[in-house]
Every structure is written in C-alpha cells, then in structure tokens.
Amino acid sequence: MYHVINRAPPNVRFPGLYVLPAAFAAQMSALAAAGYRGVTLDQLVRPVARRAPFPSHPIVITFDNGYRSQYMNAFPILRRLGWPAVENLQLSGLPPSQGGLDTRQVRRLVQAGWELDTQGFSHADLPTLNLAQLRHEVRDARMVIRRRYHVPVHWFCYPSGRYDDAVVTVVKSSGYIGATTVVPGWANQRIDLYRLPRLRVLAGTSPSALLGLIAGTREDRPPPNSF
C-alpha cells in the first residue's frame, strides 16, 4: 500500500506516507529480483474462484487516494517492469490543483492495464455514517467511476482501513467482489475477500526491509470483523 511517491514537503502532516521515487524503484527492483510478479486484484480473484493455485509469487501494488505522483513517478517505474497496479481513486477532496490525478491521467493508467477501484467520494470514516451516506460513498462512487471510465470497479478500499459489519454489508450489496483493509498480512484462498490485508510501505523503507516485512507477516492473523 502506497500513497505519495515523492519527497515530503516541509512540515507536511503525514511525512511517512511519502516514499521517494528512487526508493520506490529500488523496492520494485528488489521484488522482481526475489521472483515476485505484479498483478491486479482482478487477476488474483480468478484462481480463487476456480480454487486453483495462485500464480507464482503474485504481489498486488496498490495506491490510495489518487495522487498525481503515482502517475508521474510510480507509473513509469512499474511500466518498465511490465507490472500493472491498483489505483484506489478518491472522487473528491483531492483535485489536480492539490496534487490529485486528472481524468486524462486516470484514463492513461487504465489503458496501460492498471485496475481502477475506489475509496468512495471523500475518504469518509464509514462506520460513523448513516445508511444513506454510506450508500453514497460506496455504491454511488462505484456507479460514477464505472460510467466515467468504463471499468468494472470490482474492489472497494476502506478509507483509513475503517469498516464494520454494516459497512461490509453495503459493500457487498453494491456489487463489489471484495475490499482491502490496512491490517497487515497475506491473502490466501481461505481469506474473507471483503477483509483483505495489505502492507503499508512507509518513507525510509529499504528494499531489504520491505522483503523482510513481506516475509514476516505471512503467518499474521486475518483482519478482524471490524477495524
């Protein structure tokens, strides 16, 4: 799980979410050298549905919110490897004037094979919303992205990883195949697709530290019913 692929500005609120482009490139090279292959969530769900083995060493690179640096800095690095990624687009609150992706950039990512999913409209704290607000963030956001970009939008990304049973119910009823959390761990064929774990990659993570993080979370417990 990545956010901004750029140098953190002075006094920024969450500097840990800024990964330098050179560091990101080194991390991706280390993953490739270790035998990993970048895939999307849609590419993974097909083996799950068939109860077939996963591809060898699959890894899903996800980007949250829709920062322009993901297109400007991460996209070329992944393109050189021939890897797609997952863009969890936030529909409001991050306009291009504030460092967000514009429509043309999103379309170019989709054309290059990236999977377009969503965090909803506004990165809301979903468990605190009433049913109408929750449906707007989850269901309506999917409808807008499907109409605007002509993609299926099979996966939801819980903003800040926050969810409970009511949120999961709305995600299911809105037509999503599954959803991603911020709880660390590995996915497997037995895991709840609506509570998929992810590994947050922070500023200063070396390639060896990233490989260690991946190896060290293999036996972690699956995400809880609420977070």
In the DSSP assignment, the letter for residue 122 is S
The residue type found at 159 is P
d(C-alpha 91, C-alpha 142), whole Å: 10
d(C-alpha 186, C-alpha 216), whole Å: 10
Q: What is the pLDDT of residues 191-221, one digit of tens each?
A: 999 999 999 999 999 999 999 999 999 999 9
Average pLDDT for residues 87-115, to the nearest whole number?
Answer: 89
Q: Could you tell me the pLDDT band of residue 78, with boundaries at 50, 70 and 90? A: very high
Asked whether residue 98 carries a pLDDT value surpassing 90, the answer given is no
Average pLDDT for residues 84-99, to the nearest whole number?
Answer: 83
Q: What is the pLDDT of residues 111-141, one digit of tens each?
A: 999 999 999 999 999 999 999 999 999 999 9
pLDDT of residue 58: 94
Q: Nearest Cα to 152, choosing from 33, 77, 31, 41? A: 41
Between 95 and 26, name the one with better pLDDT. Answer: 26
Asked whether residue 97 carries a pLDDT value surpassing 70, the answer given is no
The residue type found at 152 is P
pLDDT of residue 49: 58
Q: Parse the chain into domains and list their residue ranges.
A: 15-216
CA 55, 59, 27 angle in degrees (round to 5)? 135
d(C-alpha 91, C-alpha 137), whole Å: 9
Any idea which residue has 């699956």 for tokens?
A: 222
Q: What is the pLDDT of residues 42-64, one digit of tens each?
A: 998 876 556 666 668 999 999 99
CATH of segment(s) 15-216: 3.20.20.370
Residues 29, 44 contacting (CB under 8 angstroms) = no
d(C-alpha 212, C-alpha 219), whole Å: 13
Contacts of 128 (CB under 8 A, 6+ apart): none
In the DSSP assignment, the letter for residue 143 is H
Asked whether residue 179 carries a pLDDT value surpassing 60, the answer given is yes
Integer angstrom CA distances of residue 88 from 22, 110, 179, 217: 22, 12, 11, 23
Beta bridge partners of 59: 38
Contacts of 88 (CB under 8 A, 6+ apart): 62, 63, 64, 65, 66, 117, 118, 119, 157, 180
